[in-house]
Amino acid sequence: MSELNPVIQQAAPKKRFDLFQFFYKYGTILTIFVLILVFALSNPSFIQANNIINILRSISIVTIIAIGITISLAVNGFDLSVGSVASLSNAIVISMFVWFSQNTIVAIFSAIVACLLVGALNSFIIVKVKVPDMLITLATMFIVQGIALTYTKGATVSQNMVMPDGTFATGVISPFFSNLGQVPWIIIIMVIVVVVVHVFLTYTKHGRYMYVIGGNSEAARLSGIPVNKYKVIAYLLSALFAAIGGIVLASRVMTAEINAGSPYLMDSVAAAFIGFSVLGAGKPNAFGTFVGAVLIGILQNGLVMMSVPYYAMDIVKGTVLAFALALTYYKQK
């Protein structure tokens, strides 16, 4: 037995600690804890319950929209139109109340249908016409943005607004709808979206098929997976979550402002890409996207409490996104 020990020891060498791998897996979470510590020391009110709830509320819309981007990334796509789709959803749902005096179901249904049409257009051009997804969604971003502006005539849609004929709008936003954008419902909606998509991508065959397509679409096609079908589903889901984000935004601010959803695009993209490395996933995933959104929310909130000028925020967010992209693609290489 003693003679076999050296062989056994040689066959099973001790694993060396890989610092890069450690930071790749846990770097984002560690960064969150470090930021919380720094901001809490600089301003103790940062870790109060009210501020934590405020951070969760502030990232809710970003997370919902970013979940849609995550699904498109799962099939090796990239949907840049989500910000404009959210703006369109925002405009339609409020206008249904204010201009047409519709109920909550009709208003929400109208917004979702309009956004799904955009998702269908994106998927058709990507799948059938073979236009690269980033290029066509960039084009539809401007098209949908123009449609939303044309629909609202460039004006903010709100209760009691002045109509083109000089009269006042008589429609009223329902109390039920106005509650969707308030705490705790806005946070509950975000959590439900994250959990549902996490389960879908991780534990269902359809989610696994999407990951296979994202890894190697040709191999997926040869193995019998209907690649085009799942790409269509991915872009429809991306548009759906952008629509939900726009609806929640409308409920939160109770108006439809010009290009209301556009500012959420950069934060959503950053959250989705930061999520690649969370716990070493190495792929788009709902939980990682949520953690990425939390990181961005903590940064924004903490920097505001430290009186950092608002115009410097994009520098910080852009730096975080660049670092996340560098880490992800270096690891893949």
Rg over CA atoms, the chain: 22
Give the list of residues 6+ apart from residue 329 with CB closer than 8 angstroms, or none.
none
**Cα dihedral angle (148, 150, 153, 158), rounded to 10 degrees?**
-20
pLDDT digit string, tens, across residues 45-54: 999 999 999 9
DSSP state of 154: T
Helix (H, G, I), strand (E, B) or coil at 226: coil
Which pLDDT score is estimated for 5? 54
pLDDT digit string, tens, across residues 291-329: 999 999 999 999 999 888 887 888 887 887 787 777 777
pLDDT digit string, tens, across residues 235-244: 999 999 999 9
How many angstroms separate the CA atoms of 327 and 330, rounded? 5
Instruction: Look at the block and give the residue holding tokens 């429809």.
Output: 236
How many angstroms separate the CA atoms of 149 and 155, rounded? 8
> How far, in Å, are 89, 105, 124, 243, 261 from residue 101 at the CA level?
17, 12, 34, 20, 23
How many angstroms separate the CA atoms of 20 and 30, rounded? 14
| pLDDT above 70 for 128 | yes
What single-letter amino acid sits at 36?
I
Other C-beta atoms closer than 10 Å to the C-beta of 299 total 20
Which pLDDT score is estimated for 20? 74
pTM above 0.85, yes or no: yes
Binned at pLDDT 50, 70 and 90, residue 8 comes out as very low
Average pLDDT score, the chain: 91
How many angstroms separate the CA atoms of 211 and 200, rounded? 11
